[in-house]
Amino acid sequence: MRQQTNEAAREESLRREWEAEEAVAHIHGWDFSHIEGRYSSEDDLPWDYRAIVLSLLRPDTRLLDYDTGGGEFLLSLGHERRLTAATEGYPPNVALCRETLLPLGVDFRPCADPSHIPFEDASFDLMINRHGSFDPQEIHRLLRPGGVFVTQQVGARNDRDLVELVFPGAGTPDSPLYMDVQCRAFEQAGFRILQADEAFRPIVFYDVGAFVWFARIIEWEFPGFSVEKCFPRLLALQKEIDAGGRIEGTAHRYLIVARKE
């Protein structure tokens, strides 16, 4: 009886702890510092997105970062502000970009539709996009002849094993987010592929609370997730951590560098 009482008390304590993580699951830009040290995501990709972008920047390059997040990566490039533009569609990040990018002279414009980006035809020499939506036809419209698009993407199989932990049988949804599928789409839109690569890397959580925060932040991958709905599954994950110290999933990434012919 005492053991059952203690177990029930622990479960209730865990529930309160996880609900607290759920309540603070908000993000500005792409800042995961809330769970720093409580999870790890291997970033030893076989390409260096930043180095690729920098190799293509010239002093007179007209640059657009579509789906810039909070503009952190864009600003880290140190490119001439008057030649730099950005878009973002997620409302909290739109507000952040207005506060941080506009005063610096970056041409920031809110945009949530990758097929209708509010700039004139042939406005840019280089367009970049990391983990955001894109439309090859619209990119073709916006780039000057010879212009280049660089994207690092989250693939269709990203975190699917983590999703299965709380939603068994969810499977992998139909999605075009595979390197080979997107390469064909760019070629059909009038691009030549300069570089393409794909990688799968581990993502690890060391406590269930960090997983709860992550699942609420990445809501498009965990639709309908809540502590209440998934509590029995979360308790099973806690047992995994008690036994082995970690929960592990798989991150899916791919890279495409394409030039407008």
Q: Is pLDDT above 90 for 2?
A: no
- Mean of the per-residue pLDDT values of the chain: 94
Distance of CA 163 to the CA centre of its chain: 16
DSSP tag of 206: S
pLDDT exceeds cutoff 90 at 147: yes
pLDDT in tens, 218-227: 998 999 999 9
List the alpha helices (DSSP H) in the chain. Answer: 2-23, 49-56, 72-76, 91-100, 136-142, 160-166, 179-188, 208-217, 227-244
Indicate if the pLDDT at residue 139 is higher than 80: yes
Residue type, 21: E
The answer to whether 88 touches 94, Cβ cutoff 8 Å, is yes
DSSP summary character for residue 250: E
Residues 6 or more apart from 224 whose CB is under 8 A from it?
A: 167
Separation of alpha carbons 95 and 220, rounded Å = 21
Q: Tens of pLDDT along 90-117?
A: 898 999 999 999 999 999 999 999 999 9
**What is the domain count for the chain?**
1
* Region for 251 from its dihedrals, namely left if φ exceeds 0, alpha if ψ lies in -120 to 50, beta otherwise: beta
Lowest mean pLDDT among 43-52, 63-72, 169-178: 169-178
CATH of residue 39: 3.40.50.150
For residue 247, pLDDT beyond 70: yes
Minimal CA–CA distance to 151: which of 114, 108, 116?
114
How far, in Å, CA of 195 to CA of 80, rounded? 26
C-alpha–C-alpha distance, residues 25 and 5, integer Å: 31
The pLDDT, as a whole number, for residue 1 is 58
pLDDT at 160 (0 to 100):
95
**Confidence grade of residue 3 (pLDDT, cut at 50, 70, 90):** low
Residue 29 confidence class, pLDDT cut points 50, 70, 90: low
One-letter-per-residue 3-state SS of 81-121: HHHEEEEECCHHHHHHHHHHCHHHCCEEEECCCCCCCCCCC
pLDDT at 30 over 70: no
Domain housing 222: 2-260
First-last CA distance in the chain: 74
**CA distance linking residue 16 with residue 27, whole number of Å:** 21
Q: Mean pLDDT throughout 204-210?
A: 97
